[in-house]
A and B are shown apart, each in its own frame.
Chain A
Amino acid sequence: MTRITALDSLLRRMADRVSLVLDPAERDSAFGDLAESGESGSQALRGMLGLVIRRRAACLWDWRQWLTVASLTVPLSALVSLQSRRSADGTAIYLWLYVNNWDWALIHSSGFWRVLAQCAPGVLLSYISLACWSWTAGLLVGWFARRTLWFNSFILFAVVVAVGLFGIPPIVDHVFVLHRARDYPGNAAVFFVRFYRQVFPQCLQLLLVMLPAWRGMLHGRRFDQFPRSCRVVVLIAAVAAAGALVSTNLLWWQMRVLDIWPLRQPRLPSLVPMAIAGPAAYLLLTSLVRRARRYAGHS
């Protein structure tokens, strides 16, 4: 008997957890109806699950939902995934050089330290930029698709994985530069190693794309609680960061990076400050808003 009561209460608690995604008024009246009908824990859970699924499915009929997916979620996730592929291949060469060809005698070589000092900041900055872009993509998706975040987050992660594994259709070759370090025969030794060819890009994607994007989506979902002026500033910074992300995948930017730009002047600015603009603006403004609220609470 005690076991049955415990199971019933567990199922009721599960129904309560499931119902958290509903509108508070609807949640209240639905639980009231279930209590009045004297339904068991399993019936309550089934009823709540049915209501939540129907509510979620109803959102998919909204055309604005699909507009957000097509204009925001898919392009941003494809771009961060392309950037992640490129960063993974680019930095795999350095990793291979230093890890797979390691020799303790190198420590005493001044040339080793000089080359390391030259390449390490570039690798670090490319990782920081990638994480910032992913966070920004997550923030924009979480913000504009907060009602259907479950669906948009699924699309975002699915596109990131699909583009990471298969790339994007060749039809957009003339717009985006899809070449990766592995496409050049000179780097064949690096990508002959299975780790650099398959495992490393997936690890980078998980750590620097999926996790920051998830954090960004959670931040974006709650962003309506912040003042309008704060939201406008973060939106401008996030759009600048997203613009920089688009730029890195365009031909003209790759020509500049690979130093095949026909004219040395004018020098183009680095995209890193723009990449970190979104998260930096968010951190700065949210900490200011929280401090102002705390101050208002004390006084």
Chain B
Amino acid sequence: MLGEFEYLLIAVAAQLGEDAYGAAIRREIEKATGHRCSIGALYTTLDRLQAKGLVKTWMGEATAERGGRAKRMVHVTGKGIQAATSFYRAVTQVSRDVSWETK
């Protein structure tokens, strides 16, 4: 079972498709959650997901806006899509009859 940050990362990487890399994923996570995403959390989680075979990462091209430094590209594997799907199903299933209105 994925953790919530792992799920966020996989979902954003899947959404970004071929443009998924460190800075872009971070930006999207921060936009969606409204919280800061530290580079340490992002990179260590990426490593963990890669060790589990849920994502694949490789060094991509360098661009001028990055000061000529390479990007760490991310691709969600089939196993990663399966894990994210089952996490999503579980969350929607348990949330179905829950009323979040405060009394």
Instruction: Verify if A32 is at the interface (C-beta below 8 Å from B).
Output: yes
- Cβ < 8 Å to B, chain A residues 151-204: none
Q: Does A259 sit within 8 A of B, measured CB to CB?
A: no
Q: How many residues of B contact A (CB 8 A)?
A: 22
Q: A32-B62, A36-B65 are in contact. Are A50 and B40 (CB under 8 A)?
A: yes
Give B1-38 interface residues, CB cut-off 8 Å to A.
21-23, 26-27, 38
Residue B39 interfacial (CB < 8 Å):
yes
Bound-state Cα–Cα, A50 to B65, Å: 23
Q: Which stretch, A23-31, A249-257, A274-282, touches the partner chain B?
A: A23-31
Whether B52 sits at the interface, judged by CB under 8 Å, is no
Give min CB distance, A148 to chain B, whole Å.
Answer: 16
A90 at the interface (CB under 8 A from B): no
Bound CA–CA A35/B69 (angstroms): 9
Q: Which residues of B contact A25 (CB under 8 A)?
A: 59, 70, 72
Report B-chain residues with C-beta under 8 Å of the C-beta of A58. 44, 47
Interface size class, chain A: 20 to 34
CB pair A35 B67 closer than 8 Å: yes
Given that A37-B23, A47-B39, A51-B39 are contacting pairs, would A29 and B44 also be in contact in the complex, using a CB cutoff of 8 Å?
no
Would B70 and A28 count as touching, CB distance under 8 A?
yes
Instruction: State whether A29 and B22 are in contact (beta carbons under 8 Å apart), knowing that A35-B66, A35-B69, A51-B43 are contacts in the complex.
Output: yes
Bitwise, B38-55 to A at CB < 8 A (1) or not (0) is 111101100100000000
Tell me if A33 and B26 are in contact (CB < 8 A). yes
In the complex, B56 has a CB within 8 A of chain A? no
Taking the complex as formed, is A117 at the interface, i.e. its CB lies under 8 A from any CB of chain B?
no
| B46 CB to nearest A CB, Å | 10
Asked if A92 is an interface residue, CB under 8 A from chain B, the answer is no
> Which of chain A's residues have a CB closer than 8 A to the CB of B39?
30, 33-34, 47-48, 50-51
- Whole-angstrom distance between the Cβ of A54 and the nearest chain B Cβ: 4
